[in-house]
Structure 1
């Protein structure tokens, strides 16, 4: 297996889930994707995020992706919604504009 093939394979692992819900564990898959490679197929998927203050990982759902090839700041804009956090902070909308080579972590989770 080449390095490119290994990088294309999503990582998977089992983890405990934050204690606020009925779920106790999850199988998590993580795929690293360069911004330039984001397509409309990624809309509805989750970006992996971390809140250092609470020491929790969470997902932000991708709502829109737009590539900007020209202009003063070429790159990719991604609109997403951060999940609500266990300390009571509600879900919130956000947008990031990043260079084409910025790497996102796309996270999928199956809980039990």
Structure 2
């Protein structure tokens, strides 16, 4: 993999959380998210006194990446945990991820590139298709029902009918049901139109461990 997809190691300083201090306000830290090294400016840093092992609470202004908007959020950094500071707020693809493949224009022919973060797994494969996406990639993200969030509303996942035809279902809304005789997740869904029937809406009640494969298409830039 070309080093063009990596941050310049000369500009990155790896430290332990205990080495952070309020003097680091105004500097940039970096994290790996959705296939990119995402820098963020440290706006504030205060100790979490209730944490027995010692930790900092950082307020960070993260810069935008090709897949995530700029945002301000808080991050907890344990004293015995790692942290990375960087001199320049440059967004770079994480080597070995689909983002790096897209950046370099290289697509693996024999295997998908896999990113895993907690319960979410994203598989990227090559896509060649008619219509608006002439050449590109499709990302299939596996999410358990218990891990659904409001950002999944409006997303689509694949489903197969009795004939073996695969089509898309859009999530209109959902609600987690923790108590009662049938705990799980209630979903309000819209099934896409296929040749044998029109589109229609219905509801599903699924267990918390039910997995959905959400699909997003990304065309290559011409």
With the shorter chain as reference, the TM-score category is: 0.7 to 0.9
Question: What is the aligned residue count?
Answer: 105
3-state DSSP class of the match of 1:70? coil
Answer with 1 or 2: which has the greater Rg.
2
Residues 84 and 43 of structure 1: is their aligned pair in 2 closer, same or farther, counting only changes over 3 Å?
same
Paired residue for 2:49? none
* Runs of 5+ unmatched residues, structure 1: none
* Runs of 5+ unmatched residues, structure 2: 1-114
Task: Return the match for 1:10 from 98, 117, 122.
Answer: 122
TM-score normalized by the length of structure 1: 0.77
1:31 paired with 2:141, answer yes
Paired residue for 1:109? 217
TM-score normalized by the length of structure 2: 0.41
Higher relative contact order structure (alpha carbons within 8 Å, sequence separation ≥ 6): 1
Residues 98 and 42 of structure 1: is their aligned pair in 2 closer, same or farther, counting only changes over 3 Å?
same
1:41 paired with 2:168, answer no
Residues 111 and 95 of structure 1: is their aligned pair in 2 closer, same or farther, counting only changes over 3 Å?
farther
Superposed CA RMSD: 2.6
Aligned runs of 1:9-88 on 2, under 5 Å?
9-17=121-129, 22-23=131-132, 27-53=137-163, 55-85=164-194, 87-88=195-196
Cα-to-partner distance string for 1:68-96 (whole Å, 9 max, x where unaligned): 001110000111101111x2411111211
